[in-house]
Structure 1
């Protein structure tokens, strides 16, 4: 056998798994060998089978793929005469191919986050996860082996919208093919088709992009029934996460504050409540355009709407931040009557008579509370019995009469249906002081 055949036989040993055909043995060596033509054919079959891929089935409302487009659009400022670049942000839902495109003036972190907020607002809902590139404004590190570390602000945005950031593998654009495809379409439709138009601001460019985007999403599919908009509205949006009450806002850290004993911190001459478990600790503040976020140990514990700069000595208090004993609220007639109903029907009658005896309900609150506070010392049942006794003797019982009944124990002496005669309780107070016969006798002796 010649040298060329020996080289072919040696190469065949390395692709033994691919060579499944008939082969013989080199005499005296026991190694497989084959002809060069057969080796090429079997190796080509092996490579063909090695490149077989499976079709990925997309799930509705599960993923949105986001990216920056490479091409830019010029913005001509009519005031300064300068020309700046506009960058395109794209986002695509792989299941319905429903798309979003927006132009920004830069590719900074704040613009990246604001585009996400606008995208979720355009969708009207939030997918379960976000797939992006390993850009510096979104991912701190993405090691081959180990945990992915997203940017803090990007992670905060994901937590605000109850979604997750799952970056694609490094240098693997096929991990987000729908986003890459939308980049191509956006560059052709915006950068290419609008190249002859002159835009003087980002708002003007975004209005033109919005018109194209609405038509793009409403256009029917070529190989599928319906359109991007129809599939999104009917199948995908119901499977997505609802939007939070307030959109996410980018902001800056504003230092730390110590939580006072009243569960509040002071920021710019106003007070904001913090959960009572954090009294005495220091918390971090993050200010946005409209809100003040309070953080502790890497977790956001409270969010308040910022007071205006001209306002001072105002308080923003959440009921959940205060302990139960600190949840003070002013007494009013419904609250007093609710307490009386918890004591018993006779207490309700007594409290009603007290309120009827005053021209204004506010005047009756203190006398009624004085009666109801007797339940703390004597118990609800004894106060209920005392009210039953007093209401049949006095038209409008007060604290003094009820306390006399409770101190002397007369609430236990009267049976049901018996006409009570309460000691020390004047049924009808005298009209005045009248001197008796003994007094006149003493005056005569003098």
Structure 2
């Protein structure tokens, strides 16, 4: 018996729904005369359906449940019109992993105050909060993340997250797939923002932030290649 894969994909977007639950409902709904597939085969065929239909597999992600955050490795520059000197600008990157909807904020440093202010701007941009923040193991947010035992968070970061009713659950050390969405977004930011604005000169942070917002708006509205819609 074949399940309705389109329905399975839709149901997975709902809070608390897992492939395990949907497989059990599929087995329960089948008549005694029908042979049913195993859970492993059910998961594999769902993955194939998502790939063939061009839909992003929803295993592990639910809409509005988490935000992945990180600093971009590549940087930008500001020109001091008086001295002619160039100063480095850092990019804070955030991503909603379910839709890949992204936010970028330019800052003059990567210190704690800039980290917290970037989060405030991010929540304002997204228009709300989420239950789970997934940062990298940066000292501005995470003091220690042992393999076993409790993660120790920076006090200011923990309090900021609590203010937005969010829990900080950093990705595991040397497990980049825990933050695969934002890692992928960082590479796209390098193309859309850094490369896209490489011919322009900026003399103020406000001017640069405005152009970054325009570039990211175009990035988020770019149609998907294999399915209908955009980020």
Q: Within the alignment, does 1:136 sit opposite 2:115 as a pair?
A: no
Aligned residue for 2:209? 206
Q: Distance in 2 between matches of 1:213 and 1:70?
A: 17
Q: Within the alignment, does 1:102 sit opposite 2:105 as a pair?
A: yes
Q: Runs of 4+ in structure 1 displaced over 6 angstroms?
A: none
Contact conserved, 2:192 with 2:219, CA < 8 A, in 1? no
Shift of 1:140: 0.6
User: How many pairs does the alignment contain?
Assistant: 176
Shift of 1:172: 1.3
Give the greater-gyration-radius structure (CA).
1
> Residue 177 of structure 2: which of 174, 179, 187 is its match?
174
Aligned residue for 1:145? 148
Gaps of 5+ in 1: 1-51, 229-446
Aligned residue for 2:118? 115
SS in 2 for 1:102: strand
SS in 1 for 2:74: strand
Shift of 1:80: 2.8
Give the TM-score normalised by the residue count of structure 2: 0.73
Aligned residue for 1:60? 63
Aligned residue for 2:86? 83
Q: Distance in 2 between matches of 1:178 and 1:75?
A: 28
Offset from partner CA, 1:382-410 (integer Å, 9 cap, x none): xxxxxxxxxxxxxxxxxxxxxxxxxxxxx
**Any residues of structure 2 matched to 1:329-408 within 5 Å, and which?**
none
Q: Distance in 2 between matches of 1:89 and 1:149?
A: 22
Shift of 1:159: 0.7
Shift of 1:193: 2.2
Aligned residue for 1:352? none
Greater RCO (Cα-Cα under 8 Å, separation 6 or more)? 2
Gaps of 5+ in 2: 1-43, 48-56
Offset from partner CA, 1:135-157 (integer Å, 9 cap, x none): 01000110111000110000000
Q: Distance in 2 between matches of 1:151 and 1:224?
A: 41
Offset from partner CA, 1:60-91 (integer Å, 9 cap, x none): 11010001000111110102322100001100
Aligned residue for 1:156? 159
